[in-house]
Amino acid sequence: MKRIVLGSRGSALALWQSEYVAAALRVIHPGLDVQIEVFSTRGDRELDRPLPELGGKGLFTAELERALADGDIHLAVHSLKDLPTEDPEGLAVLAVPPRADPRDALLVRGDHLLALAEKLQSFPESYEPQDPFVALPPGAVVGTSSLRRAAQLLRARPDVVIKDVRGNVPTRVGKLDGGEYDGLMLACAGLDRLELADRIHRRLGVPWLGAAGQGALALQGLFTNDALRELILPLDDRGSHLEVVAERTVLSLLGGGCSLPLGVSASVNHSRLQLRARLLSPDGTRIAEANRDGEATGRGAPRLATMLVRDLMEGGAQQILEDLQDEAV
């Protein structure tokens, strides 16, 4: 192939991701003509309702997948966490580049950070509070469009008020600075890529878990396009690919999408794969958690995910899922 067209959403973050892929392809294949075509998705256009209310799959991916099927583009660049666990017929994730930080970030309004700094003046300079949410005042209004983030936050801080927030990353940060929110929950990877890492108050690690595939990119194309597969193979990172396969298998087996309050995290360390998951009720009062460790192989990742889901179901996930289904009716 001498020319390749990448499909991308139009947000600053999506364009950064597509430019990143395009630049990598140009380095690996000097002389390759790489172009980017921008698409507007339903999730980008309909900003007046929370994501769970929009329903359906592929809110941020369907238009790009249609362009792939029609042959208008060769490769779609997705944030992997936005991609449904089942590919449309004929399409597949052909490569997963090295993953960025998969954690969630807490952003806090400046006046609250100043108040916290004043409280900590009497402590040693190296002291750091163990509570990651200590900067949020009682009854703080926190913006997130994710049920997973909301459930985990309510479990840690039942007093906070969850308020939906939509729009691209800079728009959301602007709403925080404008006083609409006391805090925001966003993905670390997006903030890092847009050079907004200095706005992160805390990067949230275990027991807090991110979404399946968070921090990873998915390069999606026609399953039968062997020339394209060979072209982008150097971009595929084995460890990152195994991690997202395990995480997405958990999500798929639980029958979930963006409306499932599920946190899941896989980590490859040499030949081992560690997998964690936590499913919560929307209010955060009930939780099912499980951890598993297994072989970091193509077959080992989905097998480990299957065993972990069994542990979750035995630990209370079945009832949480049934209640979620009842609420959706």
Gyration radius from the chain CA atoms: 20
Q: Using CA atoms, how far apart are residues 116 and 110, in angstroms rounded to an integer?
A: 10
Which of 16-30, 49-63, 97-111, 132-146 has the lowest average pLDDT? 49-63
Nearest CA among 205, 311, 184, 303 for reference residue 263: 205
Query: What mean pLDDT do residues 259-267 have?
Result: 94
141-143, strands of its sheet edge to edge = 161-163, 141-143, 183-187, 104-108, 202-204
Report whether pLDDT(224) > 80: yes
Catalytic residues: 82
In our burial notation (b when 16+ CB lie closer than 10 A, e otherwise), range 86-118 reads: ebbeebbbbbbbebbbbbbbbbbbeebeeebee
Q: Using CA atoms, how far apart are residues 262 and 22, in angstroms rounded to an integer?
A: 32
Report whether pLDDT(47) > 90: no
Assign 3-class secondary structure to 209-273: CCCCCCCCEEEEEECCCHHHHHHHHHHCCHHHHHHHHHHHHHHHHCCCCCCCCEEEEEEEECCEE
Q: What is the pLDDT of residue 62?
A: 87
Backbone angles phi, psi at 244, to 5 degrees: -75, -30
More confident residue, 117 or 32: 32
Report whether pLDDT(106) > 90: yes
Structure tokens at 127: 């002291």
Which of 38-42, 90-94, 293-297 has the lowest average pLDDT? 38-42
Report whether pLDDT(329) > 80: no
What is the DSSP annotation of 51-89? HHHH-SS-TTTHHHHHHHHHTS-SEEEEEGGGS-SSPPT
Q: What is the pLDDT of residue 87?
A: 86
Report whether pLDDT(53) > 60: no
Residues 278 and 287 sit within 8 Å (Cβ to Cβ):
yes
Residues 269 and 239 sit within 8 Å (Cβ to Cβ):
no
Sign of CA dihedral 134, 135, 139, 140: negative
Q: What angle do CA 306, 273, 187 make, to 5 degrees?
A: 90
| Burial (CB count within 10 angstroms: exposed 0-12, middle 13-18, buried 19+), residue 306 | middle
Residues 101 and 241 sit within 8 Å (Cβ to Cβ):
no
Q: Is 201 helix (H, G, I), strand (E, B) or coil?
A: coil
Backbone angles phi, psi at 12, to 5 degrees: -60, -40
User: In order of start, what are the domains of the chain with their CATH numbers?
Assistant: 1-97+216-236 (3.40.190.10), 104-204 (3.40.190.10), 237-329 (3.30.160.40)
Sign of CA dihedral 114, 116, 119, 121: negative
0.85 cut: is pTM over it? yes
Q: What is the pLDDT of residues 149-171, one digit of tens each?
A: 999 999 999 999 999 998 899 99
Mean pLDDT of the chain: 92
